[in-house]
A = this chain, B = another copy of it.
Amino acid sequence: MDIITDILRAKRDNESVSRDSLYKFALGIADGTVTDYQASAFLMAAYINGLNPEETLALTMAMRDSGTIVEWDKSLSPLADKHSTGGVGDKMSIILAPLAASIGIKVPMISGRGLGHTGGTLDKLESIPGFNVNLTIDQFKSQIADIGVCMIGQTDELAPADKVLYSLRDATSTVTSIQLICASILSKKLAENPDILVFDVKCGTGAFMQTMEGASELAGALVQISTMSGKKASALITAMNHPIGLTAGNTLEIQESLDILRNRGPADATELTIALVAEMAFHAGIQNGEVLCRNNLANGKAMDIFVKMVEAQGGDIAAFEALPLAPVIMDVRASRTGYWCGPDALVVGQAVRKLGGGRYRVDDVINPLVGWQQELPCGSPVESGTRLGSVHAATKEDAEQALSVIAESFKWDAPSDPLIFQEIRV
């Protein structure tokens, strides 16, 4: 029996596979010497029987090694990146990157587009007229050296094996495996090659993980495999039963990000961003990271870096702030008196996608103006008739439909989630 079929047999029978064998196998998947049908059989066996940490690490490293690994000059350390598992209203990256840079942590960030009902950082950034997310790796490195922060899209140079495996996983119903997700996320992050990785694992109705059990398992795997690969890493498990912040939709979220960078944004989104940067600061050995963050939001330093980044990447903030509102803005008001606990995250995400703020097919064009704008934070005491929020839509019909499902999902008089459920360090 050759090495490939022996690995498949072992994984099929839930035996562990040696690091060397699996690394060879994974490199073979990456370079195409292992056939698609053998890779798929492996993915299914790995999905059902799981991969142990050494196996997950070997798969991750081999996927990383399928492409370029970004090399950073030592003088640039500490370099850090954050990865979120995706939520509704999750604009943290846009604030976090310049905020971290403002306290001395370089953030070379490679982000994604909207997926399903969750928005994508690239789509949000592109609502700033002129903002270019398609830089070369050399431009990326040079901007990090110049201003300490750069936000771009995935390139074919980094971890190309992930693209192959992801398309096989999609076609073989093996997407939702903790270890395969972990290998997919980390292969790209390890190719990006910062010193520190912080994970925001969302948990709730609008998250990929809907239970604490699943979120803990994914967070634990991300931190463990990152650490085994030589990175400093931690994860926060954070609430995603309601949208984070007050907005969901591309332009609305950039506007809210600017509010936060100007120190006048909603508390939950501000605090979560600070908590994530504080994790980076902890790993970087920077004392009082949280205090430094608050100061740099108050004194404008974080905003200054954001402006520099936008300019360096061709964006025009003045043009952004002059953008029109969506054609139709329709309010929703409280039907009763009580503690209003906000709309459901999944419902809002789906509604915004349907309004045109997300995609159903990869070539769908996004309408950046549409979305959900909340007037009050979740947990606010309100009287009947209080304005709770509004839908921004292209047409009256769209707005009515979105408002109806969002309003139906409102929760009342329920205890609210903590912002952060759990912090996971090795």
Binding site for B on A (CB under 8 A): 1, 4-6, 8-9, 12, 35-45, 47-49, 168, 170-174
Contact = CB atoms under 8 A, between A and B. Distances in A.
A173 B9 CA distance: 5
A4 B170 CA distance: 11
Contact of A37 (B45, B48, B168): B168
16 contacts: A4-B171, A5-B170, A5-B172, A5-B173, A6-B173, A8-B173, A8-B174, A12-B174, A37-B39, A40-B40, A40-B44, A41-B44, A41-B174, A42-B44, A44-B48, A48-B48
B48 A172 contact: no
Given A48-B48, A48-B49, A8 B38 contact: no
A44 B173 contact: no
B12 A47 contact: yes
Nearest to A9: B173
A300 B236 CA distance: 85
Residue with the greatest number of chain B CB neighbours at <10 A, chosen from A1, A12, A38, A172? A172
A39 B41 CA distance: 9
B41 A43 contact: yes
A36 B9 CA distance: 18
A37 B41 CA distance: 7
Contacts of A44: 8, 12, 40-42, 44-45, 48
A168 B173 CA distance: 19
A172 B36 contact: no
A241 B72 CA distance: 65
Nearest to A171: B38
A36 B49 CA distance: 22
A38 B1 CA distance: 23
A19 to B, nearest CB: 20
B5 A35 contact: no
Nearest to A43: B41
A8 B44 CA distance: 9
Contact of A172 (B1, B41, B168, B172): B41
B171 A12 contact: no
Nearest to A45: B44
Given A173-B5, A173-B8, A41 B38 contact: no
Nearest to A36: B37
A33 to B, nearest CB: 13
A193 to B, nearest CB: 31
Contacts of A48: 12, 44-45, 48-49
A45 B8 CA distance: 12
A13 B173 CA distance: 10
The 6 closest A-B pairs by CB, nearest first: A41-B172, A8-B173, A37-B40, A9-B173, A44-B44, A36-B37
A143 to B, nearest CB: 39
B49 A172 contact: no
Contacts of A12: 44, 47-48, 173-174
A9 to B, nearest CB: 4
Nearest to A7: B173
Contacts of A168: 37
A83 B43 CA distance: 34
B37 A171 contact: yes
A47 B48 CA distance: 11
A38 B4 CA distance: 18
A43 B48 CA distance: 13
Contacts of A171: 4-5, 35, 37-38
Nearest to A169: B41
Given A41-B174, A44-B44, A44-B48, 12 more contacts: A5-B172, A5-B173, A6-B173, A8-B174, A9-B173, A35-B36, A36-B37, A37-B40, A38-B40, A41-B172, A41-B173, A45-B48
Among A1, A36, A38, max chain B CB count under 10 A is at A38
